[in-house]
Amino acid sequence: MKKYTLGMIGLGTMGRNLLLNMADHGYAVTGYDKDPKMLQILEEVGKEHDLKGFASLEDFVQSLELPRRIVLLVPAGAIVDSVIAELSPILDKGDMIIDSGNSHYTDTTRRALALKDQDLHFFGMGISGGEEGARFGPSMMPGGDKKAYSAMKEVLESISAKVNGDPCVTYIGPGASGHFVKMVHNGIEYAMMQLLAEAYDIMKNGMGYQNEQIQAAFAKWNQGRLKSFLMEVTAEVFAFVDEKTGNLMIDMIKDEAKSKGTGKWTSQVSMDLSLPIPTINEAVSSRDVSKFKKLRVELAAAFPHQTSIPENTAELEVQLEEALYFAMISCYAQGLHLLWQASATYEYELNLQEIAQIWRGGCIIRAELLEDIYQAYSKEPALEHLFADKNIQDKIKSTLPSLRKIITLSIENGLPITAFASTLTYFDSLRTEKLPSNLIQAQRDFFGAHTFERTDADGIFHALWNPITL
């Protein structure tokens, strides 16, 4: 029987494209899927490489070189556990399993410990770039068993996206760090998408732009400092015509956004770590608000308002670009600060410079701006917050006035700009030396005797705010 270098379990679009990518780079690979249709598709699209898959898990396992390297690309959750339970008894000691789905990082931690007890290597690896990235070069975030990663390093570097010759993959760190970083990547993605949606709303309902003008603005911005994959996609969306009606597709899509949970996970863990990421939180909340369509229709009728379209739309478009640039910086800053805190708390040993480097290509949040972010962490690897970098500070100072103007215009016209507004209040909070939180501490101590700290002495104190007299 022919022996294969690597096997893929799950031959859906992502798994199949990743396998084709590996075959393109000269690796002898095969796959397994319970669905005969997926095996047939693999054989059809992989004719050039004579790619064949297995319908029997046992035959699939026996076809692999020792130690076996098996990648899972199946839906996150119970299915991953089910596959591992079926797979692990027929593996040999020293074989390795790589979970490349969007698994929750706590599940990855649990699975790694369980498989270690069986003398099997395991690591979690986030993959970003969608089906096109999987086929031609994704960004990959592997973390966990370093020995297993070393055995996969050559393959992963070969198939990854490249920027300036650098592969968009690196060893992220121990434990579930790979899936954690991918989760935060997705949280940043949520925030960026919400900002682009709000920019669309501002242009359409605040500035009176037609779809063609909106498309032109996004396309123009994608030629400058806001150049990014998401900006490119957004510009293309506004040029796409619906075959059924002949209208632009954007006008035919219902305004109810769905999600798969990774944004929510990012928000949840940020609260566990007591670290603010308000724009990511607002992006998650905005998708939730969008689902209440019936209620929104009723309230729109109950609270009608008229938008006053300004005359200086050309100037406003320039200001909106600057506001969006500021907001995008803030998205990355919030996500990277969360990684900074998680690295310390969970002992992930994250290298933010390398993370910024591998995000520059292949992934959904790749952008021109990431080169500046990469340079910031290259100069100061221990940088706590992106806002502390001098180059980034210069960019903030030059765009901050426009952000304030765009937010003011939006509020005056009743446009919901929760993501834009959160980037400003987040920045204003961080740059405020003395916040009013002393009042909150006083209130907590008043009604709950929760104590407080003083400005003029060390220690913990409690005041007799309202002495009880007997």
Matching fold, domains 182-430 and 436-470: no
Torsion, CA 189, CA 81, CA 74, CA 237, rounded to 10: -20
Identify whether 37 is a catalytic site residue: no
- Could you tell me the residue ranges of all domains in the chain? 6-175, 182-430, 436-470
Asked which of 3-7, 48-52, 161-165, 244-248 is least confident by mean pLDDT, the reply is 48-52
Q: Report whether pLDDT(445) > 90.
A: yes
- The mean pLDDT of 83-110, rounded to a whole number, is 95
Task: Answer left, alpha or beta for residue 188, where phi above 0 means left and psi between -120 and 50 means alpha.
Answer: alpha
Which residue in 182, 282, 317, 321 is the catalytic one? 182
Identify whether 182 is a catalytic site residue: yes
pTM listed for this prediction? 0.95
Q: Report whether pLDDT(468) > 80.
A: no
Q: Quick one: pLDDT band at residue 307, thresholds 50, 70, 90? A: confident
Q: Report whether pLDDT(147) > 90.
A: no
Q: Quick one: pLDDT band at residue 311, thresholds 50, 70, 90? A: confident
Which residue in 44, 131, 189, 236 is the catalytic one? 189
- The CATH classification number of 6-175 equals 3.40.50.720
- Domain 182-430 CATH assignment equals 1.10.1040.10: yes
H or E stretch covering 54: strand 53-54
Q: What are phi and psi of 127, to 5 degrees?
A: -125, 130
Q: How many CB atoms lie within 10 A of CB 25?
A: 13
Q: Report whether pLDDT(236) > 70.
A: yes
What residue ranges in 145-212 does DSSP mark as E strands? 162-163, 166-167
pLDDT digits (tens, 9 = 90+) for 372-414: 999 999 999 999 999 999 999 999 999 999 999 999 999 999 9
Residues 436-470: name the CATH superfamily: 6-Phosphogluconate Dehydrogenase, domain 3 (1.20.5.320)
Residues 323/329, Cβ–Cβ less than 8 Å: no
Q: Report whether pLDDT(470) > 80.
A: no
